[in-house]
């Protein structure tokens, strides 16, 4: 069998170019055996041999009749899909990403395809725990696999081939996956949902005639458990569209025998409910608000711009009602049977937006996010391919197979979490989506209160249309922002831990009025360093070059890069002194100390540590919305798109921490963050207040934030970028070299640097040790390549980079150095 599988004599003149989800530089060519020629099509997955023994599912991106010169060609083994699973537009997008971001097509494919569409010999399959031994409708072969799995628990695809003693198994496996009888093992760690859930409802009689409910109580009067169940049901059904059996078990502390008895008495009906994995929206759809004047104008300007431009920037202050404008565009597309992609920086943090859109569009919206399991991902994939109107998601949602895409809406376009840092493709969701829209012939709307400098630059130059919404919806004034001089208070010894008297006093008054507060602190944890007062020793991570952060809740020190944890030491291991002190502060300390000054306030914290568990994030938002929390302390998470009615004060604990960062984007980030978090204040009723504590009160960005003057900020910042030749006046490519041995890395980086400098001269900076020089035991050296904005120069540089990486990988002694390319780093 092996021989036949891997022989290289082709017998036909039909070839396919395919992609495998591996970091291989080019598409691979295979020939199509006689018996498969009539069925082979672009976009199908096929099963191909790769390497000595492996088989992969590959995607056909071209069917050609000319054979490539000088390479041995092997046959495809089978065709997996009847119909193409991808579109030509998708391939164009992949090619662009691979080209622009200097990575392989395989890496792009890896990011673009849901796991269930990627199979290899090593893929391990397991039986669905929900499989109910219903073998009807299975073919003989499917039956054999299913049976084998019920005995052996897990089997690799390679072994399935042996069990069936045939080489073509992918189509059979694919069919079992589609029927949800078989899962990829990798997925079983994830949560999966059943297709049906058991539910309870009142029998017809009690639904049509609620008056007769007392009869039901009479019927149960002899059984306290049945009475409990009845009351439990009534409570649950009040705020739920349907009641699950399991929910009622919990609520009323009963079991199935109780419900069955009540079904017999004709009180309840027990039934199965089909649940869509795409999530069904059960509440009533709300009517839309009418647009106000500003929104009407913005909408008409957007449309006018779209007549001549592919991309429009909607620059609307926080609370101006941009979402309502998007809603109008979406509605129009739905009416015309067209599709909309709505991209958000981080779906996990934008539950509020999702529910707002669902209230208007209900099930027309599919969300594509990291919490979906593999089956659900494929379901969204198929739904989009069949024309699903609206997709809401993070950057990866651009990879779905759209058919009739009309708009791409990129909300909070300035947000740096649109950029994928690791692994490759290191693409920017906004920039790639603009290209993607172009490929599909769609238009892109970028929305934000604080445009990225590059975006505004493009708008100013006329490349993008520009539409302004300078006022808040409902004529609410922009918040009143002031800077509080923390330095003077510190000198006068008035500063109480990290709080100025002005901030504490104002908070007190706000709480007295029953209003709410958001406090923003950029760092999580309690204190970012433990330092010896006599010799300045600090406790560092074993695996990374960073100080460990103290977490009070766990009473230990943690590395924010690799997760390493260590106990607190009492003695300095360097000099033996006992005077070790915690330095600096994070959200946990702010929350903790606030309790001392405002003992009666209900304080909660929203950061990476508190939202890790499932639903914790939406619970916090809910609690805050429903005023079970007075003060919400948090990191960047509290800045993102939240819309609360009753927040009248926002406090920023330390502007200096934001602005002092050694990065050319520090001012931009600082301006955006402060403006965004300030925008959470006073959104609905009356003007809000913002207090920014700073040591360096003279920083120009503070003035610009206070005046809410984006123009001024832009004018100053763009001059600096021009003067020092940073984006948008130059293109940056960061190269990161990593190795476990410092000396190998040092020498390798020198050799690599020589290649680069020979070809690119002064454009090359480095190698330099980055801010954190070692992470997870890998030493790191960075090169920064600064290129003039000239297509020829940029393309030449990318070629040089690719070639240099190949050369280094062939240099004896340095083959194991990893080189990561990051085009347009953020």
Q: Which residues lie near ligand ADP (CB under 6 A)?
A: 289-292, 295, 316, 318-324, 473, 643, 683-684
Positive or negative: CA dihedral 580, 588, 651, 344: positive
Among Zn ion, ligand ADP, none, what binds residue 492 when CB lies within 5 to 8 Å by partner kind? Answer: none
Q: Could you tell me which residues come within 8 angstroms of residue 546 by beta carbon, excluding any fewer than 6 positions away? A: 540, 559, 560, 561, 772
Min dist CB 471 to ligand ADP, Å, is 10
Min dist CB 381 to ligand ADP, Å, is 29
CB-nearer residue toward ligand ADP: 318 or 539: 318
* Cβ proximity of 186 and 115 under 8 Å: yes
CB-nearer residue toward ligand ADP: 65 or 290: 290
Other CB atoms within a 10 A radius of the CB of residue 812 amount to 5
CB-nearer residue toward ligand ADP: 211 or 475: 475
Backbone conformation region of residue 505, classed left if phi is above 0, alpha if psi is from -120 to 50, else beta? alpha
Provide φ and ψ at 466, rounded to 5°: -125, 125
What SS3 state is found at 183?
A: strand
* Cβ proximity of 756 and 800 under 8 Å: yes
Report the C-alpha gap between 355 and 275 in whole angstroms: 19
Min dist CB 465 to ligand ADP, Å, is 18
Among ligand ADP, Zn ion, none, what binds residue 318 when CB lies within 5 to 8 Å by partner kind? Answer: ligand ADP
Q: Please name which of 104, 62, 113 lies closest in space to residue 85, comparing C-alpha atoms.
A: 113
Min dist CB 478 to ligand ADP, Å, is 11
CB-nearer residue toward ligand ADP: 635 or 639: 639
Report the C-alpha gap between 430 and 451 in whole angstroms: 12
* Cβ proximity of 588 and 551 under 8 Å: yes
Binding site for Zn ion (CB under 5 A): 532, 535, 537, 541, 543-544, 559, 561-562, 564, 572, 574-575, 577
* Cβ proximity of 29 and 17 under 8 Å: yes
CB-nearer residue toward Zn ion: 535 or 616: 535
* Cα–Cα distances in angstroms (integers) from residue 395 to residues 48, 106, 703, in the given order: 30, 18, 33
Among ligand ADP, Zn ion, none, what binds residue 118 when CB lies within 5 to 8 Å by partner kind? Answer: none
Among Zn ion, ligand ADP, none, what binds residue 561 when CB lies within 5 to 8 Å by partner kind? Answer: Zn ion
Report how far Cα 28 is from the mean position of its chain's Cα atoms.
31
Among Zn ion, ligand ADP, none, what binds residue 424 when CB lies within 5 to 8 Å by partner kind? Answer: none
Min dist CB 417 to ligand ADP, Å, is 17
Min dist CB 654 to Zn ion, Å, is 24
CB-nearer residue toward ligand ADP: 297 or 802: 297
CB-nearer residue toward ligand ADP: 135 or 289: 289
Report the C-alpha gap between 260 and 119 in whole angstroms: 44
Among ligand ADP, Zn ion, none, what binds residue 321 when CB lies within 5 to 8 Å by partner kind? Answer: ligand ADP
CB-nearer residue toward ligand ADP: 132 or 293: 293
| Reduced 3-state DSSP string for 67-118 | CCCCCCCEECCEECCCCCCCCHHHHHHHHHHHHHCCCCHHHHHHHHCCHHHC
Among ligand ADP, Zn ion, none, what binds residue 572 when CB lies within 5 to 8 Å by partner kind? Answer: Zn ion
Give me 302's structure tokens: 């957007």
Among ligand ADP, Zn ion, none, what binds residue 809 when CB lies within 5 to 8 Å by partner kind? Answer: none
Q: Could you tell me which residues come within 8 angstroms of residue 272 by beta carbon, excluding any fewer than 6 positions away? A: 196, 197, 198, 199
CB-nearer residue toward Zn ion: 73 or 562: 562
Among ligand ADP, Zn ion, none, what binds residue 543 when CB lies within 5 to 8 Å by partner kind? Answer: Zn ion
Q: Please name which of 355, 351, 291, 356 lies closest in space to residue 321, comparing C-alpha atoms.
A: 291
Among Zn ion, ligand ADP, none, what binds residue 95 when CB lies within 5 to 8 Å by partner kind? Answer: none
* Cβ proximity of 280 and 365 under 8 Å: no
CB-nearer residue toward ligand ADP: 275 or 291: 291
Min dist CB 544 to Zn ion, Å, is 3
How deeply is 718 buried, as exposed, middle or buried, from its count of CB atoms within 10 A (0-12, 13-18, 19+)? middle
Min dist CB 402 to ligand ADP, Å, is 25
Min dist CB 693 to ligand ADP, Å, is 24
Report the C-alpha gap between 345 and 433 in whole angstroms: 12
CB-nearer residue toward ligand ADP: 324 or 763: 324
CB-nearer residue toward Zn ion: 541 or 632: 541
Report the C-alpha gap between 334 and 820 in whole angstroms: 41
Q: At what angle do helices 429-440 and 88-100 cross, to 10 degrees?
A: 140
Min dist CB 582 to Zn ion, Å, is 15
Among ligand ADP, Zn ion, none, what binds residue 312 when CB lies within 5 to 8 Å by partner kind? Answer: none
Positive or negative: CA dihedral 132, 133, 138, 143: positive
CB-nearer residue toward Zn ion: 6 or 561: 561
Min dist CB 744 to ligand ADP, Å, is 50
CB-nearer residue toward ligand ADP: 119 or 449: 449
Min dist CB 128 to ligand ADP, Å, is 41
Among Zn ion, ligand ADP, none, what binds residue 537 when CB lies within 5 to 8 Å by partner kind? Answer: Zn ion
CB-nearer residue toward ligand ADP: 49 or 321: 321
Report the C-alpha gap between 404 and 384 in whole angstroms: 10
Min dist CB 641 to ligand ADP, Å, is 7
Min dist CB 591 to Zn ion, Å, is 24
Among Zn ion, ligand ADP, none, what binds residue 291 when CB lies within 5 to 8 Å by partner kind? Answer: ligand ADP
Among ligand ADP, Zn ion, none, what binds residue 292 when CB lies within 5 to 8 Å by partner kind? Answer: ligand ADP
Q: Could you tell me which residues come within 8 angstroms of residue 665 by beta carbon, excluding any fewer than 6 positions away? A: 826
Min dist CB 586 to Zn ion, Å, is 17
Report the C-alpha gap between 58 and 28 in whole angstroms: 9
Report how far Cα 516 is from the mean position of its chain's Cα atoms.
29
Among Zn ion, ligand ADP, none, what binds residue 544 when CB lies within 5 to 8 Å by partner kind? Answer: Zn ion
State the distance between the two ends of the chain, measured CA to CA, in whole angstroms: 51
Report the C-alpha gap between 676 and 681 in whole angstroms: 10
């Amino acid at each position: 069998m092996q021989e036949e599988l891997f022989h290289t004599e082709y017998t036909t003149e039909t070839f396919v170019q395919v992609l495998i989800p591996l970091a291989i530089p080019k598409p691979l060519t295979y020939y199509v055996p006689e018996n498969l020629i009539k069925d082979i099509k672009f976009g199908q997955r096929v099963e191909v041999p790769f390497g000595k023994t492996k088989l992969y599912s590959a995607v056909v991106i071209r069917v050609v009749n000319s054979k490539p010169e000088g390479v041995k060609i092997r046959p495809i083994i089978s065709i997996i899909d009847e119909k193409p699973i991808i579109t030509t537009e998708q391939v164009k997008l992949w090619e662009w990403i691979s080209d622009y971001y200097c990575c392989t097509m395989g890496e792009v494919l890896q990011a673009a395809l849901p796991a269930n569409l990627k199979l290899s010999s090593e893929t391990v399959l397991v039986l669905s725990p929900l499989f109910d031994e219903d073998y009807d409708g299975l073919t003989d072969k499917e039956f054999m696999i299913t049976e084998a799995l019920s005995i052996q628990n897990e089997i690799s695809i390679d072994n399935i081939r042996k069990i069936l003693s045939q080489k073509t198994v992918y189509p059979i496996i694919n069919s079992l996956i589609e029927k949800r009888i078989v899962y990829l093992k990798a997925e079983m760690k994830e949560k999966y949902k059943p297709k049906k859930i058991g539910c309870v409802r009142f029998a017809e009689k009690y639904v049509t005639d609620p008056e007769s409910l007392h009869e039901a109580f009479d019927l149960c009067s002899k059984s306290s458990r049945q009475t409990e169940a009845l009351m439990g049901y009534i409570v649950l059904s009040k705020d739920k569209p349907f009641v699950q059996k399991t929910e009622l078990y919990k609520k009323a502390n009963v079991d199935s025998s109780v419900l069955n008895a009540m079904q017999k008495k004709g009180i309840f009906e027990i039934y199965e409910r089909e649940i869509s994995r795409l999530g069904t929206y059960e509440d009533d759809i709300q009517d839309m608000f009418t647009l106000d004047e500003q929104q009407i104008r913005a909408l008409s300007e957007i449309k006018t711009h779209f007549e001549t431009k592919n991309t429009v920037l909607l620059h609307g202050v926080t609370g101006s009602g941009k979402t309502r404008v998007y809603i109008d565009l979406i509605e129009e597309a739905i009416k015309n049977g067209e599709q909309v992609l709505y991209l958000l920086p981080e779906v996990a943090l934008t539950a509020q937006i999702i529910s707002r859109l669902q209230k208007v569009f209900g099930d027309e919206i599919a969300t594509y996010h990291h919490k979906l399991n593999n089956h659900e991902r494929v379901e969204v994939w198929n739904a989009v391919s069949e024309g699903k109107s609206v997709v809401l998601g993070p950057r990866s949602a651009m990879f779905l197979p759209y058919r009739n895409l009309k708009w791409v809406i990129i909300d909070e376009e300035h947000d740096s979490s649109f950029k994928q840092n690791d692994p490759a493709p290191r693409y920017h969701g906004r920039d790639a989506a603009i290209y993607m829209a172009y490929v599909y012939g769609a238009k892109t709307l970028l929305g934000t209160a604080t445009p990225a400098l590059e975006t505004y630059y493009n708008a100013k130059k006329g490349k993008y249309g520009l539409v302004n919404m300078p006022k808040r919806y409902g004529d609410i004034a922009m918040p009143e922002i002031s800077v509080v001089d923390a330095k003077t208070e510190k000198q006068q010894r008035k500063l109480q831990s990290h709080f100025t008297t002005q901030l504490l006093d104002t908070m007190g008054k706000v709480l007295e009025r029953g209003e709410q507060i958001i406090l923003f602190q950029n760092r999580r944890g309690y204190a970012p360093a433990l330092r010896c007062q006599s010799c300045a020793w600090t406790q560092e991570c074993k695996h990374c070059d960073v100080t460990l952060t103290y977490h009070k809740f766990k009473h230990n020190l943690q590395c924010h890069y690799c997760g390493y944890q260590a106990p607190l030491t009492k003695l300095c291991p360097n000099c033996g002194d006992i005077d070790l002190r915690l330095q600096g502060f994070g959200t946990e300390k702010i929350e903790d100390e606030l309790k001392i000054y405002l003992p009666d306030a209900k304080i909660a914290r929203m950061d990476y540590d508190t939202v890790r568990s499932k639903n914790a994030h939406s619970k916090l938002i809910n609690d805050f919305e429903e005023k079970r929390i007075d003060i919400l302390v948090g990191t960047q998470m509290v800045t993102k798109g939240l819309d609360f009615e009753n927040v009248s004060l926002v406090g920023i604990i330390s502007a200096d921490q934001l602005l002092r960062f050694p990065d050319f984007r520090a001012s931009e980030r600082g301006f955006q963050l402060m403006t965004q978090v300030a925008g959470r204040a006073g959104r609905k009723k009356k003007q809000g207040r913002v207090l920014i504590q700073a040591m360096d009160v003279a920083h120009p960005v503070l003035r610009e934030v206070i005046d809410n003057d984006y123009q001024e900020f832009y004018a100053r910042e763009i001059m600096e970028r021009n003067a020092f030749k940073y984006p948008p006046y130059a293109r940056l490519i960061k190269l990161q070299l990593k190795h476990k041995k410092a000396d190998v890395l040092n020498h390798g980086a020198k050799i690599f640097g020589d290649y680069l400098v020979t070809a690119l001269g002064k454009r090359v900076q480095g190698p330099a040790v980055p801010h954190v020089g070692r992470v997870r035991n890998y030493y790191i050296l960075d090169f920064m390549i600064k290129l003039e904005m000239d297509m020829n120069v940029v393309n030449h540089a990318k070629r040089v980079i690719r070639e240099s990486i190949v050369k280094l990988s062939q240099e004896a002694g340095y083959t194991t150095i990893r080189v990561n390319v990051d085009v347009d780093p953020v």
